Structures are given as structure tokens and as C-alpha cells.
């Protein structure tokens, strides 16, 4: 029977934080024979897809009060080193920091909106933009569910928190995947 590493992100989310970095660090640190048990106040659909793409199976269980337990298991053939590399690749995907990007042609301030509205607005805006154009958006938290969707659509991004830690700035380059040139 595998050893289970438990991670409860409910307090982080209730406090308005984003636990993706904490989750990916836990995945990265899984040793061979260890599984991750995640507790969340909602069904983490995008995370299931993200880790599934990295070779993790999952079992989902609804708990009392609409909260969720998700058990992640590395698929056969993925050891702890491969899982760590997979976590690193997910965490770094889209962070095309070395590229020279054009100035943003569109800017959005989504700081006053509740999830999932900022993600929906950003994705809708990218649909109206030309390949290679850049969208700049301000958010009140790190958009962890946005990143896999941007990658799926072939966009790249870069972003981070302002020094005050309250505003997350993200740039999205439309239709230019990580490492591609336009």
C-alpha cells in the first residue's frame, strides 16, 4: 500500500491565497511509492487535467459540506524524479521571460472581480486579438487555473506579483506558444 502525503489547501484558499505553488512543490517532492491526497473546498477540475497531462491518475471523493478529497497517483512508469520534472514543467510553462515581447495592445484591470470572471474575461479577450499581440491584465491573485488553459490554446504568458504582493500582473502573448517566434 502506498504512503499518502496529505495537503490541505482549504485554509489557503479561504484566506484568498493561491495554492498552486504549494501543490506543485508537494508533487515534486513525492518519493517513489508515495501518493498525494489533496483537500480542497471545491472540485479542482483544471488541476486534475494539469496533473493528468503529467501522468497522474486521480480518484475524487466529495466530502461533507461540498468539499473534496482528491488522491493523485503517479501512473505506472513515473517515479519520483519524473514526477518532480513534471511538476517543474507545469510550474514553469508559459513563463517565457527571456523573449522580447511587443507592448500590450490591450489592458484589463480584473482586481475587483471574483473568480472565474477574470479568467473568462482574459480568455474572451484573447479570442478577439491577432497572433503575436499582447494582453496585459491586473489580478488580485495568481491565476492558477488560467495558465493551463492558455497553454492549451497555444498562448504564452509571463507574470508575477508586484512587490507589495497584492497585485498579480500577467502578460499573455496570443497564439505564440512558449519558445516560438512570430
Sorted by where each begins, the domain ranges of the chain are: 3-92, 106-173
Confidence (pLDDT) at 48: 78
Q: What is the average pLDDT across 15-38?
A: 89
Q: Do domains 3-92 and 106-173 have the same CATH topology?
A: yes
The predicted-structure confidence for 98-144, as pLDDT tens digits, reads as follows: 347 899 999 999 999 988 899 999 999 999 999 999 999 999 988 88
For residue 180, what is its C-alpha cell? 516560438
The predicted-structure confidence for 16-27, as pLDDT tens digits, reads as follows: 888 888 998 999
Confidence (pLDDT) at 151: 86
Cα(86)–Cα(54) distance, integer angstroms: 6
Cα(181)–Cα(99) distance, integer angstroms: 9
pLDDT at 93 over 80: no
Cα(170)–Cα(111) distance, integer angstroms: 12
CATH of 3-92, one of 3.30.750, 3.40.50, 3.30.110, 3.30.420: 3.30.110
CATH of 106-173, one of 3.40.50.11260, 3.40.50.1970, 3.40.50.2300, 3.30.110.40: 3.30.110.40
Please tell me whether residue 24 adopts helix, strand or coil conformation: helix
Query: CA distances (Å), 50 to each of 53, 168, 175, 182, in order?
Result: 5, 21, 20, 26
Amino acid at each position: 500500500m502506498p504512503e499518502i502525503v496529505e495537503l490541505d489547501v482549504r485554509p489557503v484558499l479561504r484566506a484568498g491565497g493561491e495554492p498552486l505553488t504549494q501543490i506543485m512543490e508537494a508533487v515534486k517532492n513525492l518519493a517513489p511509492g508515495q501518493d498525494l491526497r489533496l483537500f480542497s473546498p471545491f472540485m479542482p477540475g483544471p488541476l486534475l487535467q494539469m496533473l493528468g497531462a503529467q501522468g497522474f491518475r486521480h480518484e475524487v471523493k466529495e466530502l461533507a459540506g461540498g468539499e473534496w478529497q482528491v488522491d493523485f497517483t503517479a501512473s505506472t512508469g513515473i517515479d519520483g524524479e519524473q514526477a518532480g520534472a513534471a511538476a517543474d514543467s507545469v510550474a514553469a510553462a508559459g513563463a517565457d521571460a527571456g523573449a522580447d515581447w511587443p507592448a500590450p495592445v490591450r489592458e484589463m484591470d480584473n482586481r475587483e472581480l471574483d473568480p472565474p470572471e477574470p479568467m473568462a474575461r482574459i480568455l474572451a479577450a484573447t479570442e478577439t486579438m491577432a497572433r503575436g499581440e499582447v494582453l496585459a491584465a491586473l489580478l488580485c491573485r495568481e491565476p492558477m487555473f488560467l495558465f493551463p488553459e492558455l497553454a492549451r490554446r497555444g498562448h504564452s504568458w509571463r507574470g508575477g506579483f508586484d512587490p507589495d504582493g497584492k497585485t498579480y500582473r500577467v502578460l499573455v502573448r496570443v497564439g505564440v506558444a512558449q519558445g516560438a517566434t512570430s
